[in-house]
Amino acid sequence: MLSKTLLDEMNNQIREELYSAYLYLAMAAHFEEANWPGFASWMTKQAAEEQEHAMKFFSYIHDRGGKVTLQAIAQPPASFGKPVEIFEQVLQHEQKVTARIHLLYSIAVKDNDYASQHFLDWFVNEQVEEEKNATQVLEWLKMAGDSVNALFQINGLLARRE
Ligand code: FEO
């Protein structure tokens, strides 16, 4: 059985993952509106991944006999800055998610909950990937500066995300 602390934090994590999906969907809407389909497609896929992350916690809590309690999801921002600023936000957001996953892990260690540690290993690795991806696009955007040509190229690269 999950400890109450870990169960509560996993329920909080469902909210955080769904907020991530909401945030990236808001960014996707911004890019759609701004006619950057590659950026929009990347964000839409990112939003879908975040929903999958939430569902992993949803299933795991049930697998361990716990109760899922869904919470209110905060409203994401309605307006955004330049692409470089948006990817700064993405990276900062993912760093916060990483800190949350590490918090969950530390609770599972304190609880001697080996199953939860094993479950959370996937998320620890995923966060390395998430931060790496956000950093890569951010670095490209920094290099691009105000070059519209370079932005078009990045837009094309992001459109290819699987
Ligand atoms: Fe679910 Fe982007 O972390």
Q: Is 127 annotated as a binding residue?
A: yes
141: left (phi over 0), alpha (psi -120 to 50) or beta: alpha
In the chain the domains, ranked by start, together with CATH numbers, are: 4-159 (1.20.1260.10)
The pLDDT assigned to 17 comes to: 98
Counting from 1 in the atom list of ligand 1, the atom nearest the Cα of 130 is 2
Residue 31 · residue 85 · CB < 8 Å: no
The pLDDT assigned to 162 comes to: 85
Rounded Cα distance, 144 and 43, in Å: 19
pLDDT by residue (tens digit) across 42-55? 999 999 999 999 99
The chain-wide mean pLDDT, for the chain, equals 98
pLDDT by residue (tens digit) across 77-88? 999 999 999 999
pLDDT by residue (tens digit) across 112-135? 999 999 999 999 999 999 999 999
Q: Is the pLDDT of residue 99 over 90?
A: yes
Which tokens in the block code for residue 97? Answer: 């998610």
Rounded Cα distance, 54 and 143, in Å: 34
123 CA → ligand 1 middle, Å: 8
